[in-house]
Amino acid sequence: MSTEKIMNRWFVLVGTSFIWIAYGAAYAWFAFNKVLSDPDGACQFTVIQTARIFSAALFFVSLIMIFSSLRW
pLDDT confidence tier of residue 6, bands split at 50, 70 and 90: low
47 contacts: CB under 8 Å, gap ≥ 6: 33, 37
Record the pTM. 0.55
Query: According to the model, what pLDDT value does residue 20 have?
Result: 83
Higher pLDDT, 5 or 11: 11
Most confident of 7-11, 19-23, 25-29, 47-51: 47-51
pLDDT confidence tier of residue 7, bands split at 50, 70 and 90: low
Query: What's the rounded mean pLDDT across residues 45-50?
Result: 88
Q: What sections of 1-72 are H helices per DSSP?
A: 9-36, 47-68
